Amino acid sequence: MPALRRIFVERFSLIDRYMLREFLISLIAVIGVLWLIYVATRFARYLAQAAVGNLPAEVIFNLLWLNSFGALSILLPIGTFLAVLLSLSRMSSDNELTVIAACGIDGNRILRNVVVFSGTMAIITGVLALLIVPDVLSGRYEIEQKAKIAANTTGLVAGSFKESQDGDWTFYSQQLSEDKTHMENIFIEIHRDEKPLIFRAERGRFDIESETGDKYLVLEDGYRYEGNAGDLDFRIAEYATHGMLIERGESVQVREKHKSLPTSVLWERGEPQDLAEIQWRVSSAVMTVILSVIAITLAHTGPRQGRYAGFFPAVLVYVIYSNLLGVTRAWVEKGDLAPWIGAIWVHLLMIGIMLMLQNRLKLKQFWQQRKRLKTA
């Protein structure tokens, strides 16, 4: 650490360290506010689900922690963008940038500091998005699925008959595990007008298909009785394992499961939706640097425009950038856009906008000269 500190002091002057410190302080403040808003929103959603019995109350804080940590890869790009914008806007309004320029420090020095700061945040964002967050989301997905099974089995009691709300079936289990996901000595009657259907099994468990989110009741070592005893079409079938579909998974669950897959697994599979997910994770790091460089231009406002006049254009730029990435992701998933192109065109477009903003005065002078030549 002392050696690293010495290199940092040698490479960065007092003014450079001051700017980097301002960026970091602003980042902590912005991330703190955004994180609190995100946590409060999630907490309210989980409370609403727990109130109607769709989520056990004891898992709320576990889910809240996993969600808040997983959101860092989303919050860091916009947090870094706003941190650079707010810091430079304040320094511009307080004439600190004018003083810095008078000391012989040009715009390239400011650009270097912004690139160093945003590049560091981009590396952290990339590590989170590619390696850490998928593992966190996987843990969240498992807790949510187990919680949904627990919510669906709330009314089950060992040694008692349980009838469905629509009256289509009757369930009985002699023994239930503490989490009500495993059972023994099972009896299930499915009510049908033409042929009654009865299942008996030594053991059973609730299970969720990881890819689709479909919920199954898996029965083991049992018999299937169809029809009325004594009829000619009465049939008995023995089975070692039999799965009964309880509830189909939603498309949201499938997407959430896909988000939780490790990057290495996505790369090995190589399907369009897998490559789209990888590009989305990489884009969160790339956009961190591009947005931060754009913030340099947006921070330089006129003396009558106010300190944070560039805030609204900044939000607009971020919304356009993120929406374009989202649309591109959908195109790649559907096969409408080649994966090798993917999000590259969005980043190149934003780099073009960045260069236009940085050279807008030169472009303005160029068009004025061109008009003069035409009128001459």
* Interval 303-354: pLDDT, tens: 566 666 778 888 899 999 999 999 999 999 888 888 888 889 999 999 988 8
Mean pLDDT over residues 76-105, rounded?
85
Task: Give residue 162's pLDDT.
Answer: 75
Q: What is the dihedral of CA 344, 349, 350, 354, to 10 degrees?
A: 130
**DSSP code for 241:** E
Report yes or no on 267 lying in a domain. Answer: yes
Q: What confidence tier does 40 reach under pLDDT thresholds 50, 70, 90? A: very high
Strand 215-226 to strand 197-208: parallel, antiparallel, or no bridges (unpaired)? Answer: antiparallel
> What would the mean pLDDT of 167-188 be, rounded to a whole number?
79
Q: What does the alpha-carbon distance between residue 333 and residue 339 come to, in Å, rounded to a whole number?
A: 9
Q: Which residue has the higher pLDDT, 295 or 366?
A: 295
**Average pLDDT of the segment spanning 77-106:** 84
Tell me how far apart the alpha carbons of residues 56 and 54 are, in angstroms, rounded to a whole number: 7
Q: At 9, is the secondary structure helix, strand, or coil?
A: helix
> Does residue 205 belong to any structural domain of this protein?
no
- pLDDT average, residue stretch 83-112: 82
Range of the domain at 42: 2-150+255-369
pLDDT value at residue 219 = 87
Would residue 76 count as lying in a domain? yes
- The answer to whether position 365 is within a domain reads yes
- Specify the higher pLDDT residue, 143 or 121: 121
| pLDDT at position 253 | 62
Query: What residues contact residue 168 under an 8 Å CB cut-off, 6+ apart?
Result: 190, 191
What phi, psi does 332 have (nearest 5°)? Answer: -65, -40
- The answer to whether residues 275 and 257 touch, using CB atoms and an 8 Å cutoff, is no
Q: Is residue 172 part of a domain?
A: no
pLDDT value at position 213? 67
Q: Is 261 a residue whose pLDDT tops 90?
A: no
User: Which H or E run contains 235?
Assistant: strand 235-247
Cα 95 from Cα 154, distance rounded (Å):
64
**Distance from C-alpha of 131 to C-alpha of 267, rounded to nearest angstrom:** 13
HEC-encoded secondary structure of 303-368 = CCCCCCCCHHHHHHHHHHHHHHHHHHHHHHHHCCCCCCCCCHHHHHHHHHHHHHHHCHHHHHHHHH
Q: Give the pLDDT confidence score for residue 22 in this predicted structure.
A: 92
Q: Which has the closest alpha carbon to 253: 328, 335, 142? A: 142
pLDDT confidence of residue 298: 85
pLDDT digits (tens, 9 = 90+) for 212-225: 667 788 888 888 88
How many C-beta neighbours within 10 Å does residue 112 have? Answer: 13
pTM of full prediction above 0.85: no
Query: What is residue 130's three-state secondary structure?
Result: helix
CA distance 60 to 44: 10
Q: Looking at the 3D structure of the chain, how many domains does it have?
A: 1
What is the tens place of the pLDDT at every residue in 142-171?
777 777 666 656 566 777 777 765 667 788
Contact call for residues 248 and 272 (beta carbons, < 8 A): no
**Diameter of the chain measured on Cα atoms:** 107
Place of tokens 């030169």: 362
Under the banding of pLDDT at 50, 70 and 90, the label for residue 90 is confident
Query: CA 348, CA 350: separation in Å to the nearest integer?
Result: 5
Is 239 within the bounds of a domain? no
Residue 347 lies in a domain: yes
Q: Are strands 197-208 and 182-190 parallel, antiparallel or unpaired?
A: antiparallel
Average pLDDT of the chain, as a whole number: 82
221 occurs within a structural domain: no
